[in-house]
Amino acid sequence: MSDSDDHDEDHEYQSFEFESDYEDEYFDNQSENSSSSTRSHNERVSPSKTSTSFNEWTLPKFILTVFLDKYQKLKDSKLGGCTDDDLLILLHYKRWQADEVINDFFDNPKKLFEQAGLPVPPQKSANHLKSTTSFDCSVCCESYKQVMVYELSCSHRYCLFCYHHYIYNELSTGKLIHCIQPDCALTIPHGDIDKIFDIVEHDSSIIKITKPLNENRLLVASAKIFVDSQSTYKWCPAPDCKGFTELVSSATFDEATLDYKDISIIPIVRCAESHEFCFSCNYENHLPCPCWVVKKWIKKCQDDSETINWIDANTSACPNCLSSIEKNGGCNHMTCKKCHHEFCWVCLGNWSEHNNSYYKCNKFEQDMSEIEMKKSKSRLTLQRYLHFYKRFTIHESSMQGDLKVLKQINNVAVMYLESRRKDSSVTSLAWSDIQFLPDAIRALSNGRKTLKWTYCFAYYLMDSNFQEIFESNQDYLNRTVEDLSEIFEKITTTSTKGDSDIVKLIMKNKTKIINLSNTISLRQKTLIDGAYHNLKEGLMKFDA
């Protein structure tokens, strides 16, 4: 007689958030084009088949371009009686509108200076950061024999520890920071804020090389607030990435009523670290899937809907207490562990009514065929879901595996070439000789990513002849991706002579790697363009 197992186990489903790419790390010290700091802020075109243009930003580049270019404009205007600190404060106060500063300066300079928290000319700022003895701080109520203090032209003097704590709390607003004294409106210059932090946090002397203005703490905080408050800016969702993207132009659409037939309007953008993501739903580049399909798939993988299907297909409820029971043996005589009710697994009837027929139930009920049909349908639904789910997760896992192998190859190549470069007596490869690798890495990663999302796409497709064409394109891309992945893996697994051996294998396979990279990009484009065309023409449809 089989004992029953109460089926209380939870099935966990992975949350598919943005996948972090590592391709931006490769040769970033050797290629002048790979460093985000050298990228221009010129408008970019979406990497997908979309009508989207965007700007890639890092905070230092954004501050330099959006804030400090206007600061330089004010300096060139030569506003009489204004120091560089004054100009930066005035510009910050006017929300970086240089023309407004110039107009207000010539219209009513006294009012402008007072509103910005600056001494009115001809009075000049007289800020002091110095060490003093026998000082009682009225904020922390500490008596110091010797301490660093800070004061503005108002002569309200407080210890540096209190100023540091005060400024730290105020930075999150991104606004100009004023004197600690509650009724004092004088503004602390941006440069003084960095000096106070350097002295308190790093025990630095007052005499120190000033950091670039685009790294100033207050300007960084202000830039973050600006980005957060603008709907046309979004931070890159990749883990640990500090880049963000400005959407310059895109097809207008209402996400709630997004027409799935036109995937060309999906705003795929890229950050300064080469991470591609969807500006609409904030997931990684999920083409050819529309946003609504992505959200539906992720929810399906996270919730309990498929767990319920599994239970329905593989368990039965105890007729007495309704507990879910999984049969773990061949005998159909079941005993519920919770209520000890004995019943028949086949017909769910009371076992006492089965007489001596222990191994074969001959009891027939009219609705048994309906029960079995329902279970069969649940099994089929579950099997179909698991088919696509398994392939989705396999490519997700393979993508991470590829990146680990490629990172290993990158590290070896960099160390080898660097060591050979230092040895002037040896003729060796130049950095330019292996610059095809970053393109190959990017092609392999993007190909895997597209493959991953095609299984989500295919899961919701209705059966049609064009679905078969889509699956053929999917298969072509899959084979090319696996071929390139295999080459890279063989390079690392068959090398036995150290770094030089790996580099030789890279160069030996250079032509293959370049050709496969180009083929991946071509087949990826063919697959996405085909999906776009067939959805638009109604040749493929989603089963919503």
Q: Which of 337, 365, 393 is the last residue of a domain?
A: 365
Same structural domain, 339 and 412: no
Domain contains 217: no
Rounded distance between C-alpha atoms, residue 78 and residue 75, angstroms? 6
Same structural domain, 195 and 318: no
Using DSSP's 3-state secondary structure scheme, residue 454 falls into helix
**Residue 256: is it exposed, middle or buried by C-beta count within 10 angstroms (0-12/13-18/19+)?**
exposed
Q: What is the pLDDT of residue 208?
A: 56
Using DSSP's 3-state secondary structure scheme, residue 234 falls into strand
Residue 168 has pLDDT above 70, yes or no: yes
Domain contains 293: no
Which of the given ranges, 89-103, 263-277, 405-419, has the highest pLDDT on average? 89-103
Same structural domain, 407 and 505: yes
Half-sphere exposure of 513 (CA within 13 A, CB side): 22
State the residue range of the domain holding 186: 128-211
Query: Percentages helix, strand, coil for the chain, rounded to the nearest 5?
Result: 50, 10, 35
Residue among 361, 488, 384 nearest 436 (CA): 488
Q: What is the pLDDT of residue 16?
A: 41
Q: What is the CATH number of the domain that holds 140?
A: 3.30.40
Q: Is 209 left (phi over 0), alpha (psi -120 to 50) or beta?
A: beta
Same structural domain, 205 and 232: no
Q: What is the CATH number of the domain that holds 484?
A: 1.20.120.1750
Instruction: Check: CB of residue 543 under 8 Å from CB of residue 462.
Output: yes
pLDDT range class, residue 333, cuts 50, 70, 90: confident
Same structural domain, 74 and 105: yes
CA 518 to centroid of chain Cα atoms: 26
Mean pLDDT of 461-480: 91
Same structural domain, 265 and 409: no
In the chain, the percentage of residues whose pLDDT exceeds 90 is 43
Domain contains 318: yes
Q: What is the pLDDT of residue 465?
A: 87
Residue among 72, 61, 59 nearest 223 (CA): 59
Q: Which of 181, 211, 241 is the last residue of a domain?
A: 211
User: How many angstroms separate the Cα of 282 from the Cα of each of 10, 21, 226, 379?
Assistant: 29, 15, 19, 34
Same structural domain, 105 and 142: no
Total domains in the chain come to 5
Q: What is the pLDDT of residue 362?
A: 54
pTM of the model: 0.74
Q: What is the mean pLDDT of the chain?
A: 81
Structure tokens at 96: 């970086």
Residue 102 has pLDDT above 80, yes or no: yes
pLDDT range class, residue 219, cuts 50, 70, 90: very high
Structure tokens at 394: 């396999």
pLDDT range class, residue 474, cuts 50, 70, 90: very high
Instruction: Check: CB of residue 287 under 8 Å from CB of residue 450.
Output: yes
Same structural domain, 332 and 266: no
Same structural domain, 241 and 277: yes
Residue among 314, 371, 375 nearest 347 (CA): 371
Residue 259 has pLDDT above 50, yes or no: no
Same structural domain, 68 and 52: no
Mean pLDDT of 341-352: 80
Pairing of strands 333-335, 2-6: parallel
pLDDT range class, residue 310, cuts 50, 70, 90: low
Same structural domain, 276 and 386: no
Structure tokens at 482: 């696996």
Most distant pair of Cα atoms in the chain: their distance: 111
Q: What are phi and psi of 542, to 5 degrees?
A: -90, 145
Q: What's the pLDDT tens digit per position in 425-469?
A: 555 666 677 778 888 888 999 999 999 999 999 999 998 889 889
Pairing of strands 324-327, 316-317: antiparallel
Residue 40 has pLDDT above 60, yes or no: no
Q: What is the pLDDT of residue 394?
A: 87
Rounded distance between C-alpha atoms, residue 95 and residue 113, angstroms? 15
Same structural domain, 395 and 350: no
Higher-confidence residue of 389 and 498: namely 389
Domain contains 541: no
**Residue 493: is it exposed, middle or buried by C-beta count within 10 angstroms (0-12/13-18/19+)?**
exposed
DSSP summary character for residue 542: B
Domain contains 192: yes
Domain contains 296: no
Domain contains 342: yes
Residue 541, number of CB atoms within 10 A of its CB: 17
Torsion sign (Cα): 481, 484, 488, 489: positive
